[in-house]
Structure 1
Amino acid sequence: MLSSDRDGETPVAQTSSGLKTFDDLRRETADLYVRLKEQNIREVVLASTSSYAFATGFLAALHADCHIIVPPNALPGMLAHFVGRDCPLLSDIEGAGGAYQFLIDGSIGRAVDFSDLDPARACLDFYTSGSTGAPKRVPKKLSQVENELLVLDQRWGGALQGSATLGTVSHQHIFGLYFKLLLPLCEGRLFFPDTFEIWEELLAAAPPGACLVSSPAHLTRIPPFDPLPDAEKSPVIFTAGGPLPFEAAQDARAKFGPLPTEVFGSTETGGIASRQQKDPRTPFTPLPGMQTRIDGQGLLSVKSNYTDDEDWDATNDIVELLEDSSFILAGRANQFVKIEGKRISLAEVEKYLTRSEFVTDSAVFILKDGKETLVAVVELSVSGWQTHQEIGAFRLSRALRRELSPNLENAALPRRWRFVKRLPVNAQGKRQQAAMNELFAGPGGAN
């Protein structure tokens, strides 16, 4: 990119301080590149609040032959896992790396004659939160990143032509990084570097016909507002990180124009398939070049030119594979547990829980407290909180067990309960298992 003949006046990012062009990107990247080379830095942690700052740091570190570590967030506790003398922080957050930091501050460097990168040699490590909350390393070569971006451009580039991109998700996660930052950057489209937590602020900033990159957590909480006029409707709304409820998909279509495009995949596999929920059983269609197969237990494996070694990669997802290679998700293998000798579907318990008028959302899981107890964290509705205030947490949990009992065996009824205003999720909208476990560390029924 930096050695290309792209017009220097091409708009890149609409920051809070003004428009950044391709010339700005190249010159700010040059400053960081020179600073890294002068200090002979071989490895960096890259974490920033701004997607534009991330872009300059990403390109500078690649050209400086640095191994890049991408943590899932820039919180002090997370950065402490990685930052040190031999692995400084590259960030726009002043002081976040202590004595070991290169500040991304928008400084302009002298002209650098950038050469082409070798995508097979440049490497980076993504880290996910993992099911336990401990960071899990997922190594990638730049060639894998580039191959996937080419597939995404092949699939959606035509529809996105000329569209600016805004998002409610962080670029520190691979979905946000690809769809909110790298895809528009590579395609020469404008992107907004901020992560919008509030829909009203995103819509106030969005130009007509903008592409929106969001998550199920945000799309299930769209506030009431009038549908966008035709001239402003989004060409594509991308979402990933978990299943999008059918009702939320229909609500988004009513307000924004298109049905959200759900991208199914993981940090390990990259994007696997996509769908737009025309009905609740709309299957996922594999992305171009993606091969799929299932084993005897229905577990999905995938293969593409961006899976590891371009080989088959087993997932933890149970699917119903259709004749045209599309598939319907049936749950995750770890969503089935054995309790009292019976096979219980955690997803099924959650499904029946959320049918209650008292419940907005729920998470059911096994708490390993010495005897592996089935527990539920429940996000209550307005009527749920009113009932909670009237009868208390214990009686409310008994009432919910009674609502579940016509559909579930006794072994599938949660034994311990916690009631919360909002399920703990990260910036990507994924549930934070460690935080939910902590809710059961002490007594109490409401949090």
Structure 2
Amino acid sequence: MADWLALEEVAVRPHAGRPFVLADGAARDHAAFHARTRGWHAAFAARAGQAWALYFDDAGEFAAALYGAWHAGKTVVLAGDALPGTQARLQGEVAGFAGDWPASAEPLSAAGGEDGLAAWQALDPEATRLVVHTSGSTGEPAAIGKRLRQLASEVRALESALGAGLRGAAVHGTVSHQHIYGLLFRVLWPLAAGRAIVPRAFFPEDLLAAMVDHDVVLVASPAHLKRMPSQLDWASLHGRLRAVFSSGGALPAEAALAAARLLGTAPTEILGSSETGGIAWRRWDSEQPAWRPLPGVDWRVQEGALEVRSPHLPQPEWWRSQDRAEADWQGGFRLLGRADRIVKVEERRVSLDALERQLQSHPGVREARVLLLGGARTTLAAVVVPEGDAPDMHDAPGRRALSQKLSAHLARHQDAVTRPRRWRFVPALPTNAQGKVTEAALTALFRPERPTPHWTRRGPAHAHAELRLDPELAVFDGHFPQAAILPGVAQLDWAIQLAREAFPLPPRFLRMEALKFQRVARPGDLIQLDLEWQAERRTLSFRYVSVHGPHASGRVVFGHDD
């Protein structure tokens, strides 16, 4: 680690002559990083307030703003995105916003010149703070404070365990630096080690094109590694791809070994969380590698649960995880599933992990997640990614037959009470920006956008349906929290969807005519929808009414592709 810089000194004495950012075929060195950092320092130093929210699309500019804020004595709040809802949630927690926020946020910009200070002192590792937000298992963001001391110890541990052979390699990634994994692997670790940062790539074709001309490191997530198109020329990277890292969720063995064959480099998986920092690592150069602790991390298994103690934690006490584990004979450990995934259904204890393993043992299942849905009666539900093309998942009878087949498969180990009652079949599990499959995203699959219609009339030109507006419909989310109403755009969309079920409409939407909204519709209302199709004019008329009176009406004109 002769060329190593402590994180607290990165902006005080940058790596001389080393590239800092590689972008668009050009390189910027650490002197450019130093100048941008001083510009951001001047901007932050001129503003009051302690905490500032940062969001940047560009990792290089983010790094400069991060260090500029830290040297100005600010606490940096890392936002996972720049959506209006995120901004509104942070409004009461921060003094301002810096970076690529909407114009309404009045974001802070870097000052044009130097800050006037001849020299800086190294950052105080205890006083320098960062706040990250983790999505958690429910999708509700939780704020977690970090000191620079914790981040520095973790970066040093990563270099000690995994840095051999990475000198001179540029760091590419598919994950965002706005989350803790991307922050460490795509910004802080490269800054300390003097490796070049490369802008994030979203598509496999762009990623491959960016990596062809130099030695590289790839920072990815399981979601990306599982979906790498085999037809691309990944073999062109063989011999130059120094390392592939994966974190943010479990990397299935099949996907890890397939990525190793495709890329010519076995992925290295990192175990950790926003709360704990890095815990352990394993390289997929064998079928089922054990986890090995990062340097400085102590671990033990207590009552079947993994406990860790490390300088990455805020306090020196043991921290108990919700992972069940057992010691490996080579000094590492293996995970046995989550200890907190035992649920009760009709007073029966059910292991969601066991159900998922049983589903995935079926030859027609690639991946599966099981969850407990709340409501008047708790219900087990399963989200399944079928193996192969699975044409039978594309229509209702096929999906019903597939769910019956999987339920019969589970019947060998589970009775009717402990088997899923609701099913969703999807081409891929839903993931968030960190590549994690969250309970919130899975639950959303079971919340329909529109109610099931009760048809009372369906003729060649006229149809009538009753729609009960269940308060749990996903379409009510955000419209509006204080008094939920049915959005007008949803009423138009429902009318067209249901008309396509009732009549042979032409494929193309041409225009909207005479749209009128007269009265809001609320959760619990029973709405009557009248549809009239005039085939010769290719015009659909619709009208929503209830006991409260008329709600909306309009005409839609359709046409053919020719």
Change in 2 beyond 3 A, CA 1:28/1:121: same
* Structure 1 contact 208–231 (Cα < 8 Å) conserved: no
Counting only pairs closer than 5 Å after superposition, residues 250-261 of structure 1 correspond to structure 2 as 250-261=257-268
Secondary structure of 2:81's counterpart equals: coil
The 8 Å contact of residues 12 and 188 in structure 1, kept in 2 or not, is answered as: yes
My pick for the range that moved more, 217-226 or 167-176, is: 217-226
Residue among 116, 129, 132 paired with 1:123: 129
Partners of 1:27 and 1:269 lie apart in 2 by: 33
Which letter does structure 1 place at the counterpart of 2:268? Answer: T
1:75 aligns to 2:80 (yes or no) = no
SS of equivalent residue, structure 1 residue 178: helix
1:215 to 221, 224, 233: 221
Structure 2 equivalent of residue 178 of structure 1: 184
Tell me, yes or no, if the aligned pair for 1:238 and 1:263 is still in contact at 8 Å.
yes
CA contact (8 A) 2:11 2:37 kept: no
Distance 1:227-1:130 versus aligned 2 partners, 3 A rule: closer
Q: Does structure 1 conserve the Cα–Cα contact (< 8 Å) formed by 2:238 and 2:263? A: no
- Tell me if structure 1 keeps the 8 A contact 2:157–2:295: yes
Alignment check: 8 A CA contact 2:237 2:263 kept: no
1:433 and 2:442 are equivalent in the alignment: no
Q: Does the CA-based 8 Å contact 1:233-1:257 persist in structure 2? A: no
- Residues 117 and 245 of structure 1: is their aligned pair in 2 closer, same or farther, counting only changes over 3 Å? same
Aligned to 1:368: 374
Aligned runs of 1:132-147 on 2, under 5 Å? 132-147=138-153
State the alpha-carbon separation in 2 of the partners of residues 47 and 328 from structure 1: 36
Instruction: Confirm or deny: 8 A CA contact 1:67 1:123 kept in the other structure.
Output: yes
Name the stretch that deviates more: 174-183 or 418-427: 418-427
Give distance in 1, aligned partners of 2:28 and 2:85: 32
Matched, 1:42 2:50: yes
Partner Cα distance (1:280, 1:347) in 2: 21
The residue number in structure 2 matching 1:290 is 297
Structure 2 unaligned spans of 5+: 1-9, 453-473, 475-562
Of 22-31 and 318-327, deviating more is 318-327
| Residues 415, 280 of structure 1: alpha-carbon distance in 2 compared, 3 angstrom cutoff | farther
| Aligned partner letter, 1:205 | A
CA distance in 1, matches of 2:93, 2:294: 41
CA contact 2:278–2:312 (8 Å) conserved in 1: no
Distance 2:292 2:379 in 1: 37
Q: Which residue in the other structure is 2:283 paired with?
A: 276
CA shift in 2, pair 1:418/1:381, >3 Å = same
SS of corresponding position for 1:329? strand
Alignment TM-score, normalising by the size of structure 2: 0.73
Separation of aligned partners in 2, 1:417 and 1:356: 15
> Which amino acid is 2:58 matched to?
S
Q: Counterparts in 2 of 1:35-434, with a 5 A limit?
A: 35-83=43-91, 87-93=95-101, 95=103, 98-103=104-109, 107-110=112-115, 112=117, 113-194=119-200, 196-206=201-211, 207-225=213-231, 226-229=233-236, 232-296=239-303, 298-389=304-395, 391-434=397-440
Alignment partners' CA distance in 2, 1:373 and 1:85:
37
Residues 43-68 of structure 1: CA deviation (Å, up to 9, x unaligned) = 10112211112101110110111111
Determine helix, strand or coil for the equivalent of 1:383.
coil
Number of the residue aligned with 2:484 = none
Aligned partners of 1:54, 1:36: CA distance in 2, in Å? Answer: 14
* 1:378, distance to aligned residue in structure 2 (A): 2.3
Cα displacement string for residues 13-40 of structure 1 (whole angstroms, at most 9, x for unaligned residues) = 1134842221111111111111111122
**Cα distance between partner residues in 1 of 2:249 and 2:286:** 17
After TM superposition, give the deviation of residue 438 of structure 1 in Å: 2.2
Report deviation, 1:220: 0.9
**For 1:102, what is the secondary structure of its paired residue?**
coil
- Whole-Å separation in 1 of the counterparts to 2:237 and 2:145: 42
Q: Which amino acid aligns with 1:254?
A: R
Q: After superposition, what is the alpha-carbon deviation per residue over 1:223-274, rounded to whole angstroms, capped at 9, x for unaligned?
A: 1134524764421111011221111111111121221101111111111111
Structure 1 unmatched runs, 5+ = none
Say if 1:220 and 1:248, in contact at 8 Å, map to a contact too.
Answer: yes
Distance 2:382 2:222 in 1: 20
Between the aligned partners of 2:419 and 2:266, the Cα distance in structure 1 is 35
Once the two structures are TM-superposed, the CA of residue 191 in structure 1 deviates from its matched residue by 1.4
- Alignment match, 2:469: none
AA in 2 matched with 1:314: R
The 8 Å contact of residues 292 and 325 in structure 1, kept in 2 or not, is answered as no
TM-superposed CA distance for 1:359, in Å, is 3.5
* CA distance 1:75–1:359, shift in 2 (3 Å): farther
Deviations 1:416-439 (A, max 9, x none): 112233322112210132232222
Q: Which amino acid aligns with 1:239?
A: S
Residue of 26, 30, 33 corresponding to 1:22: 30
Q: What is the DSSP-based 3-state SS (H/G/I as helix, E as strand, rest coil) of the residue aligned with 1:14?
A: strand
- Deviation (angstroms), 1:5: 5.7
Give 3-state SS (helix, strand or coil) of 1:430's partner. Answer: coil
- Which residue of 1 is the match for residue 508 of structure 2? none
1:92–1:103 CA contact under 8 A, matched in 2: no
CA distance in 1, matches of 2:252, 2:301: 25
**In 1: Cα distance, 2:328 partner to 2:26 partner:** 49
Q: Could you tell me how far 1:122 is from its partner in structure 2?
A: 0.9
Percent identical residues = 34
State which structure, 1 or 2, has the greater radius of gyration over its C-alpha atoms. 2
For 2:515, the equivalent position in structure 1 comes to none
Q: Which residue of 2 aligns with 1:6?
A: 15
Deviation at 1:277, TM superposition (A): 2.8
Q: 1:379 to 1:36 in 2, by over 3 A?
A: same
Q: Deviations over 1:93-129 (max 9, x none)?
A: 452xx2442136x955455432211011111111111
Higher normalized helix content (fraction of residues): 1
SS in 2 for 1:134: coil
Change beyond 3 A, Cα 1:343–1:278 = farther
Q: Which amino acid aligns with 1:157?
A: G
